[in-house]
Amino acid sequence: MTDKQKAETNAEIELLKKLAHPSICAYFHHFVTEDSNKPDTSTLHIVMEYCDSGSMADAVTEQQQAKRPFDHLTIRSWMCQLARALAHIHSLRVIHRDIKTANIFLSDVGKRVFDLKLGDFGISRLMSSQTNFASTAVGTPYYLSPELISGSGYDGRADVWAIGCILFELIALKRPFAGENMGQLAMAILRKPPSKPPRDTPQDMLELTLKLLQKEQTSRLTSAELLTSSWIQDWITQVDEAEMSPPRPADPTADPAD
C-alpha cells in the first residue's frame, strides 16, 4: 500500500470506529494481508457486523416479484431506524453520500420487523468545519439529489434526498424518478415531480415523502428535522413504550404443562 492508501485506510477505519450505533453496521476488526507473489500488493480486510437477512434491495426485489407491497408497519419501522442512523452520522459531521437500498442490511432478531443496519461508508466524508458544503459528485444515479446532479454544493440533505427516494421505493415498489439513460434520469430528478404513489398511501406518509424530495435543498428537511417529525416521533414513542412495558404476568389458572 502506498502512503496515501495507508492514510485513506486509517481514515476509513477511524470513521467506522466512531460511528457506533444500533442501526449502523458495527465495525469489529481489520487486518492487512500481503501477496507473496506480489511484494508490493496488500489487501485490507474489514470485519463488520453480519446481517443474516440480506439487504433492503433484496427485500424490495422479493416484494416486486410477488407483486406484494410492504405493509405500512414495516415501512415506518425501517424509516424510523434510518432516521436515527442518519441523524447520528450527521451529528458527527459525516455525510454518507451513497445511501441506497443495496447499502442497507437486514437482521432477523425475532421481531415483527427486521432490524435495519446502514452500511458501506466507503465514500463517506467529513463535513468541513468551515462550511457545510462539499462539491464532489458521488453516489448512485437513482438516489442522487438535484444538487449532486447539477454539480452545485451539497450537505447532509443530499443523504436526506436519498432517504426520500428509499421511502418512495418502499411505498410504490418502484423508484420515484426514472429514465432510459443517465441524461433522461438527470432531467427527471432536476425538473419532474416524483412518480405517482399508490392511491392507498397514508396522507402523512405521502407528505413526509414529498418533504424529503424537495428539489431545492434549502426547502428539504434536515436529518434532525426528519428525526423530530411527528410521523417519526409518534412511532418511536410507541416502540419505546412497548419495549419498556413489563411482560404480561402468567395466568395463575393455566396448566404449567400447557
Highest mean pLDDT among 10-14, 92-96, 130-134: 92-96
How high does pLDDT run on average in the chain? 84
pLDDT of residue 131: 39
User: What positions carry a catalytic annotation?
Assistant: 98
Please say if the pLDDT value at position 37 is more than 50. yes
Nearest to 124 by CA among 1, 208, 5, 13: 13
Report the range of poorest mean pLDDT among 32-36, 75-79, 123-127, 141-145: 123-127
Please say if the pLDDT value at position 13 is more than 90. no
Q: How far out from the chain centre does Cα 206 lie?
A: 18
Q: Classify 241 as helix, strand or coil.
A: helix
Average pLDDT over residues 161-179: 97
Please say if the pLDDT value at position 7 is more than 50. yes
Q: Which residues contact 246 (CB under 8 A, 6 or more apart)?
A: none
Q: Please count the CA atoms within 13 angstroms of the CA of 71 that sit on its side-chain side.
A: 6
Q: How far apart are CA 164 and CA 182, in angstroms?
A: 20
Nearest to 188 by CA among 167, 174, 203, 201: 174
pLDDT of residue 248: 44
Helix axes 157-172, 72-91, angle to 10 degrees: 170
**What are the pLDDT digits (tens) for 220-243?**
999 999 999 999 999 888 776 555
Please say if the pLDDT value at position 134 is more than 90. no
pLDDT band at 218 (very low <50, low <70, confident <90, very high): very high
For the domain made up of 56-242, the CATH class stated in words is mainly alpha
Nearest to 12 by CA among 146, 140, 120: 120
Q: Are 169 and 101 in contact (CB under 8 A)?
A: yes
Average pLDDT over residues 145-157: 92
The DSSP code for 45 is E
pTM for the full model? 0.83
pLDDT band at 133 (very low <50, low <70, confident <90, very high): very low
Highest mean pLDDT among 99-103, 107-111, 246-250: 99-103
Q: How far out from the chain centre does Cα 148 lie?
A: 17
Domain spans of the chain? 3-48, 56-242
**What are the pLDDT digits (tens) for 66-95?**
999 999 999 999 999 999 999 999 999 999
Give ∠ CA 142-148-152 in degrees, rounded to 5: 165
**What are the pLDDT digits (tens) for 42-73?**
777 788 888 899 999 999 999 999 999 999 99
- Among all chains, which residue has been given the C-alpha cell 400447557? 258
Q: What whole-number percentage of the chain has pLDDT above 90? A: 56
pLDDT of residue 39: 67
Number of H helices, E strands in the chain: 9, 6
Q: Judging by DSSP bridges, how do beta strands 125-126 and 94-95 pair with one another?
A: antiparallel
Would you state the cell numbers that stand for residue 119, as one nine-digit string?
Answer: 452500511
Q: Which residues contact 224 (CB under 8 A, 6 or more apart)?
A: 87, 90, 91
Report the range of poorest mean pLDDT among 36-40, 80-84, 90-94, 208-212: 36-40
pLDDT of residue 238: 79
